[in-house]
Structure 1
Amino acid sequence: MTQQNEWRASEIVDQLIALGVKPGGVLLVHCSFRSVRPVEGGPPGVIAALRAAIGPEGTLVMPSWSGLDDEPFDPAATPATPDLGIVADTFWRLENVTRSDHPFAFAATGPLAARITSDSLPLPPHAPASPIGRIHELDGQVLLLGVEHDSDTTLHLAELIAKVPYGVPRHCTVLDNGKPIRVDYRENDHCCQNFNLADAWLRREGLQREGQVGHAHARLIRSRDIVRIASDRLARDPLVFLHPIEAGCEECDAARQSAGCAPRSTSGGGQF
């Protein structure tokens, strides 16, 4: 580290390897640059360190969706939603990075990039035939870099595999012969705050490695372990990720209602 507390890319690589990142493996990264910084080279420096840690035979993956339900998605031009952070929005723009051709996009580089990103529009977004599903299929690792499990989209895959009873109405816009078309679907969505329960579950089983990367706290877990542990919990309680009714969480209440587990609301415009 320099005198200005800026981490060198080589130091970040060492930290990633010490954490357990596998050279030659598939690595899905959810990242908060604000937590990691300052890093030599900024966001591209973080990406370079991640690439160096997995090596030329590894495949690096990041979320890259737009979050724009009413605008057609252009993989060559549509920015990633700001919620994903500057590292993710920088990554898809780099040379030799492949991006999904649908609104629920992920971006990837490496030998398995095309396999991970080439599925057509997945509905719901994190179904097995989606980038998240392909990472699970390929026994990839998930790196939560300065973020917690409420950013862990692999848990949505676990919900689908466990056949959770909730699904709220959503839509996206795609191009059909150059014309924008609205596509309606149901998604296993909610506020996701209770995804952080996975921390204790994975720690208890010794399945989550944790340490410092840059200035951030990092978590590293196999995708298959996330899905297995979460699926086991969901088998016992299919609503474990939803806040109780008394918490007053509108997103979780909508998910409960879709499962027939909450009374129909009389407020909020009666949208359900």
Structure 2
Amino acid sequence: MAGQLSDLGVEQNGALLVHASMRAVGSVSGGVRAVVAALRDALGGHGTVVVPAFTPENSDTSPHYLDRVRGLSDRARAAVRASMPPFDPATSAAPSMGRLAEAVRLTEGAVRSDHPQTSFAALGPSARKLMARHRPDCHLGEDSPLARLYDLRAHVLLLGTGFDTCTAFHLGEYRVAAPPRRTYRCVVTAGGRRQWWEYEDVALDDSDFATLGADFARSDNGAAVRTGPVGSSTSRLFRFTDAVDFAARRLPSHRGRVPVQTLCPAHG
């Protein structure tokens, strides 16, 4: 598998943001930990792997919560809110991010950023630098690991997933003129006590990312995106900067002709 990743174009000693579907990758001897090892092997001793470790489960403004409480009484909704644990970067699981992301997060030496809803986890020599200073009122913008991945000219690997999972496009949302904003709310710990925290940030929306990604893959006669097999999956590799810059250019006109939602299922 490390050979397949290298053939796809994963660079030694680089930084790699990975979105993965283990179901698409298929059966692997050694399971998900072997896939993590293959990624690190392909990156070499000075490479860093990064994964999303988002936690929409601790927010009452997320689609995850709205789906959970739909049809419940006011009392039942209040009970759900009361049971939601505050975010803890050391212990909060990220079950909606998939098995590979959780395996990276739980690997000894992994570093996690501090955002209470859209944290990332990283393994490798650049992990601490990439995860540092993730401002709590900036999901995926200039004060998040995405901006530092951009500066490092990292790559994005869609390991058996589609462009609908491509968080690099979210940084493009921040880089359009006057992006729409909305209010978010989640459970945090402050002063040793559990409390709700409300803040405003860019209105994240991934409902058109699959279409945007298809346009991106066709741009420059397809030269920006490399496609190949990894395990049983068809995977894609591309430069982080290329994806962000394409999104920032295309989103204004793209969303002028495609109806979009105002909530991103992975955030909220």
**Same fold, judged at TM 0.5 (above):** yes
Distance apart, 1:14 and its partner CA: 0.7
In the TM superposition, residue 78 of structure 1 has moved relative to its aligned partner by 0.8
Q: CA 1:184–1:45 in structure 2 vs 1: closer, same or farther (change >3 Å)?
A: same
Classify 1:218/1:165 alpha carbon distance in 2 versus 1 (closer, same or farther; 3 Å): same
In 1, distance between residues paired with 2:254 and 2:237?
A: 25
Check if 1:115 corresponds to 2:132.
Answer: no
Equivalent residue runs for 1:31-46 within 5 Å: 31-46=20-35
2:154 is equivalent to residue 137 of structure 1: no
Worse-matched range after superposition: 223-232 or 184-193: 184-193
Aligned to 2:216: 201
C-alpha contact (below 8 Å) 2:104/2:123 kept by paired residues: no
Q: Which ranges in structure 1 are unaligned for 5 or more consecutive residues?
A: 1-11, 245-251, 256-272
Q: Measure the CA separation in 1 of the matches of 2:7 and 2:34.
A: 18
> Which residue of 3, 17, 20 maps to 1:14?
3
For 1:23 and 1:200, the matched residues in 2 are separated by 28
Distance 2:261 2:102 in 1: 31
Matched, 1:221 2:238: yes
- Structure having greater relative contact order (Cα 8 Å, sep ≥ 6): 2
Q: Structure 2: which 5+ residue stretches go unaligned?
A: 60-83, 264-268
Q: Which moved more, 1:196-205 or 1:19-28?
A: 196-205
Identity of aligned residues (%): 35
Q: CA deviation at 1:101?
A: 2.4
Tell me, in whole angstroms, the C-alpha distance in 1 between the residues paired with 2:137 and 2:175: 13
In the aligned structure 2, how far is the partner of 1:203 from the partner of 1:170? 35
Q: Deviations over 1:76-102 (max 9, x none)?
A: 21111x321111111111111111123
Q: Which residue of 1 aligns with 2:175?
A: 161
Residue 19 (structure 2) aligned to one of 9, 30, 37? 30
- Post-superposition Cα deviations, 1:209-245, rounded to whole Å, max 9, x if no partner, equal 111110111110111000111112135x1625x842x
Task: Supply the distance in 1 between the matched residues of 2:217 and 2:176 (Cα, whole angstroms).
Answer: 17
Partner Cα separation in structure 1 for residue 199 and residue 206 of structure 2: 20
Q: CA deviation at 1:142?
A: 0.4
Partner of residue 101, structure 2: 88
Change over 3 Å in CA distance of 1:194–1:66 after alignment to 2: closer
Which whole-Å CA distance do the structure 2 matches of 1:108 and 1:55 have between them? 15
- Superposed counterparts of 1:43-82, under 5 Å: 43-67=32-56, 68-69=58-59, 71-80=85-94, 82=95
Deviation at 1:169, TM superposition (A): 2.5
2:193 to 145, 164, 179: 179
Q: Distance in 1 between matches of 2:190 and 2:9?
A: 43
Residue 192 (structure 1) shift: 2.3
The answer to whether the 8 A contact 2:183-2:198 is kept is: no
Does residue 211 of structure 2 align to residue 211 of structure 1?
no
Structure 2 Cα separation of the partners of residues 99 and 253 of structure 1: 29
Task: Describe the superposition over 1:43-92 as per-residue Cα deviations: whole angstroms up to 9, x where unpaired.
Answer: 10110000000011101111112222153211221111x32111111111
Question: What's the CA shift string for 1:142-175, capped at 9, x where partnerless?
Answer: 0001111110111010010113532232222222
Secondary structure of 2:249's counterpart equals helix
Tell me the number of residue pairs that the alignment of Structure 1 and Structure 2 aligns. Answer: 234
- 1:99 and 2:112 are equivalent in the alignment: yes
Please tell me the root mean square deviation across aligned C-alpha atoms, in Å.
Answer: 1.9
CA contact (8 A) 1:164 1:188 kept: no
User: Where does residue 255 of structure 2 map in the other structure?
Assistant: 239
Q: Secondary structure at the match of 2:23?
A: helix
